[in-house]
Amino acid sequence: MVDIIGKPIRKGKVKDVYEVDKNNIFFHFTDRISAFDIILPSTIPHKGEILCKFASYWFETLDTPNHMIKIIDKDKILVKKLEIIPIECIVRGYLYGSLYERVIKKEVEFASETILASKLPNPMFDPTTKFETKDRPISTEEIIEKGWLSNEEFESLKKLSIELYKKMCEKVAEADLIMADVKLEFGKDQDGNILLADSIGPDEFRLWSKDQYKIGKSQEAFDKQIVRDWLIQVGYKQKIDKAKENREEDPIPPELPNNIITKVRERYIYTYEKISGRKFN
């Protein structure tokens, strides 16, 4: 591995960013885990290493311009410094998660049947904000008005995001998995070219078992949905929603039980090995 020293410039929910020089930075993937935009007090052993390997795998596999240079440690990758576009490019293939909640609340116009976990007629581009305290859905008009993207750039990014989602769906299908949705991020280099950026792993997509998939019910997850489901079960999600309604601070999150920590770790390793065909040592 390469010994590279960097200056810390940002601590994210699960990933820390260090500046190497004016052109390069590196990501340190930690074992932290977040849910509902809140960092939990528990950690998942080897999670950072798995996410680092996953990021490298997808950057290599998707065959689209990206900012990765090389892996420099088991949980660190060196990447080109970009001007990050401040939106999260979410592509959804199924009616699930926050999209389902927004449809039920009639916050989103939806022409098809509102059946939980039903496949959408076509993949849906559903961008949200980035770098805000709480990510929120954002319209095309607001993105263009803020000057983050031109109309042409927006349409190009939308098309690319959907194409990448379809490629990923084909790849995970070979592992008998379904990718329900994915969050992609992009940035501009010094010449204004848009590159795939950040990372791609179980923190950025929702995976289901093809064999266990059944429309109309909650799906068995092979990502951090296990954590979200547990937080809902113990009532923490309801506390978050109540605090949001009352404009109060987020409630203190609970520690994850050992069985949830173990299950998340095992499933991260399982999906990496199944999708990549590589062994996690």
Residues 6+ apart with CB under 8 A from 138: 87, 127, 128, 129
Q: Quick one: pLDDT band at residue 62, thresholds 50, 70, 90?
A: very high
Domain 83-254+268-276 top-level CATH class: alpha beta
Rounded CA-CA distance 88/158 in Å is 11
pLDDT for res 224? 86
Q: How far apart are CA 165 and CA 245, in angstroms?
A: 33
Record the tokens describing residue 151, joined without a space.
């109309």
Q: How far apart are the first and last CA of the chain?
A: 15
Q: Is residue 180 classed exposed, middle or buried when 0-12, 13-18 and 19+ CB atoms within 10 A define those classes?
A: buried
Q: Where in the chain is the domain with CATH 3.30.470.20?
A: 83-254+268-276
CATH 3.30.200.20 maps onto the chain at 7-80
The tokens describing 206, both together, are: 């929702």
* Domain boundaries 7-80, corresponding CATH code: 3.30.200.20
- Candidate from 1-15, 42-56, 143-157 with smallest mean pLDDT: 1-15
Q: What is the pTM for the complete model shown?
A: 0.89
Q: How far is CA 274 from CA 49, 54, 59, 84, 172, in A?
A: 16, 11, 17, 31, 8
Does 6 have pLDDT greater than 90? Answer: no
Q: What is the pLDDT of residue 3?
A: 67
Between 210 and 2, where is the model more confident?
210
The rounded distance, in Å, linking the Cα atoms of 67 and 280 is: 24
Residue with tokens 């990014």: 157
Tokens 């501009």 found at = 188
Retrieve residue 47's tokens: 């999670």
For residue 43, give the H/E element and its range: strand 38-43
Looking at residue 250, its amino acid is D
Asked whether the beta carbons of 184 and 164 are under 8 A apart, the reply is: yes
Angle at 210 between CA 204 and CA 216, to 5 degrees: 85
Residue 15: predicted pLDDT: 93
Span 174-183, pLDDT tens digits: 999 999 999 9
Specify the 3-state DSSP secondary structure of 61.
helix
Distance CA(280)–CA(47), nearest Å, equals 11
pLDDT of residue 215: 96
